[in-house]
């Protein structure tokens, strides 16, 4: 992409109504636009990063047998009434609307009910199980107070996977595979060292669930970490003696930290399958309710946490795995036409080698170009100028470390494709 074709503009100052670091940086860099409190648009650079996050998650879900689908956002009240989750008294997060004939509908805040109902048409025998279905789909939650930029919004995309198993043993095996897959996701996006599998209350589904919490000063949660075992407890179970018995953690060995929940996994059991009539015939011909689990990650929240933790005083610092482009090609202004020709040739060769490049071909001052490059956070900046033209090598600056090297076209391509 040529930067002259990129309609979004960078900003030197953060919006006055944004206090969260992630929103300030992402808006300043032209990655997102705020429509209203808790509602954001993804602009071209932001969408590219967001899609990279989705693809990391998608690859890990597919590795453990996940099958992707897409459910509707509009929800039928009759389905939700069967689990007592349509009532505003039981669920206060609903956005509800009406058809022109007066019939009431909801905008889905999660999808256990509709997918379980759908599976009653797909699962009837033990031979049909297990099923691991997931989606990336918009969720709507009527938060009383949206805050923290992309960390808590009223409209967001959720990766929600639901497992349908024959029994608890089959479910537990997949549950552990999902936990491992989540660990790989966080490792790949640069949060592996700061994200901990965390025991939390299971609510109405089971005694305990598991959250994945990333240590972050902007977080709303408090966790207690065992660094050696890379496990943690949520504050809500910190004083529960049973959790120490179940986990083997020692209270005195835990340290307190602020954190952000970036994922969760739940054992649902048969609550939804029994309410919605999802059962199967086992090998003996007996009717048995399907055993279920639920597994969620918010990709935009994950993107926001990376922005919070991996940025510096100059701007964003994306890991290669989710950066919008691998290379920011910065052509410095010059009266020498050979500089532009050299930049165009480098852009062509890098692109043909399969390397994603944003080419700053604008007529702008060098200082402005470098400031924008730092703000964008693209992993490698490659500078083309009269100086590099004379030297026969390009200046290559790593965004994360600031380390500078000088490489020819062949050396640069070799380095990027190694």
pTM comes to 0.95
User: CA-to-CA distance for 377 and 168, rounded, in angstroms?
Assistant: 45
Residue-level pLDDT, tens digit, the chain, 418 residues: 999 999 999 999 888 888 899 999 999 999 999 999 999 999 999 999 999 999 999 999 999 999 999 999 999 999 999 999 999 999 999 999 999 999 999 999 999 999 999 999 999 999 999 999 999 999 999 988 887 899 989 999 999 999 999 999 999 999 999 999 999 999 999 999 999 999 998 855 568 899 999 999 999 999 999 999 999 999 999 999 999 998 999 999 999 999 999 999 999 999 999 999 999 999 999 999 999 999 999 999 999 999 999 999 999 999 999 999 999 999 999 999 999 999 999 999 999 999 999 999 999 999 999 999 999 999 999 999 999 999 999 999 999 999 999 999 999 999 999 8
**3-class state of residue 147 by DSSP:** strand
Render the burial of 213-235: b for 16+ CB within 10 Å, e for the rest.
Answer: bbbbebbebebbbbeeeebbbbe
The H-or-E segment that residue 63 falls in is helix 44-63
Q: How far is CA 212 from CA 61, 95, 260, 368, 385, in A?
A: 16, 27, 8, 39, 46
- Tell me which residue of 107, 98, 179 sits closest to 140, measured CA to CA: 107
For residue 14, give every residue at least 6 positions away whose Cβ sits within 8 Å of its Cβ, in sequence order, or none: 24, 25, 27, 28
pLDDT at 208: 86
Question: All domains of the chain, ordered by start, with CATH?
Answer: 3-310 (3.30.930.10), 327-417 (3.40.50.800)
CA–CA separation, 182 and 177 (whole Å): 9
Give the pairing of strands 380-384 and 327-331. parallel
pLDDT at 203: 58
**The predicted structure's pLDDT at residue 205:** 57
Kindly state the tokens that stand for 76: 């039928």
Residue 204, pLDDT score: 53
Contact call for residues 281 and 129 (beta carbons, < 8 A): no
Q: Which of 231, 235, 210, 211 is nearest to 223 (CA)?
A: 235
Spatial contact of 119 and 164, defined as CB atoms under 8 Å apart: yes
């Amino acid at each position: 992409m040529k930067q002259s074709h990129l309609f979004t503009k960078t900003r030197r100052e953060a919006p006055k109504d944004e206090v969260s670091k992630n929103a300030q940086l992402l808006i300043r860099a032209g990655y997102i636009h705020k429509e209203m409190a808790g509602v954001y648009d993804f602009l071209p650079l932001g969408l590219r990063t967001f899609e990279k996050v989705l693809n990391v998650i998608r690859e890990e879900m597919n590795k453990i047998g996940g099958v992707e689908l897409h459910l509707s956002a509009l929800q039928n009240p009759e389905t939700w009434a069967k689990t007592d989750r349509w009532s505003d008294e039981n669920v206060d997060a609903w956005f509800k609307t009406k058809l022109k004939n007066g019939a009431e509908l909801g905008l889905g805040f999660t999808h256990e009910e509709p997918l379980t109902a759908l599976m009653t048409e797909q699962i009837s025998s033990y031979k049909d199980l297990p099923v691991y279905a997931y989606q990336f789909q918009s969720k709507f939650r009527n938060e009383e107070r949206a805050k923290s930029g992309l960390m808590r919004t009223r409209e967001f995309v959720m990766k929600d996977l639901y497992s349908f198993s024959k029994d608890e043993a089959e479910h537990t095996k997949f549950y552990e595979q999902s936990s491992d897959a989540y660990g790989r996701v966080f490792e790949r996006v640069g949060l592996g060292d700061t994200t901990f599998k965390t025991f939390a209350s299971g609510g109405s589904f089971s005694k305990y669930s598991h959250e994945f919490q990333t240590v972050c000063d902007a977080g709303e949660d408090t966790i207690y970490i065992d660094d050696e075992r890379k496990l943690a407890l949520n504050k809500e179970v910190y004083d529960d003696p049973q959790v120490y018995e179940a986990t083997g953690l020692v209270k005195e060995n835990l340290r307190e930290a602020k954190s952000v929940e970036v994922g969760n996994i739940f054992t649902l059991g048969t609550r939804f399958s029994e309410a919605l009539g999802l059962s199967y015939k086992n090998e003996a011909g007996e009717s048995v309710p399907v055993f279920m689990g639920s597994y969620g990650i918010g990709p935009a929240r994950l993107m926001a946490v990376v922005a919070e933790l991996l940025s510096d005083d100059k701007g964003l610092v994306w890991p290669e795995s989710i950066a919008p482009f691998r290379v920011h090609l910065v052509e410095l202004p010059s009266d020498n036409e050979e500089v532009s020709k050299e930049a165009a040739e480098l852009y062509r060769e890098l692109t043909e080698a399969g390397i994603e490049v944003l080419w700053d071909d604008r007529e702008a001052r060098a200082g402005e170009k470098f400031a924008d490059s730092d703000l964008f956070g693209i992993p490698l900046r490659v500078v083309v100028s009269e100086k590099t033209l004379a030297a026969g090598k390009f200046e290559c600056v790593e965004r994360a470390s600031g380390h500078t090297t000088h490489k020819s076209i062949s050396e640069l391509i070799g380095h990027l494709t190694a």
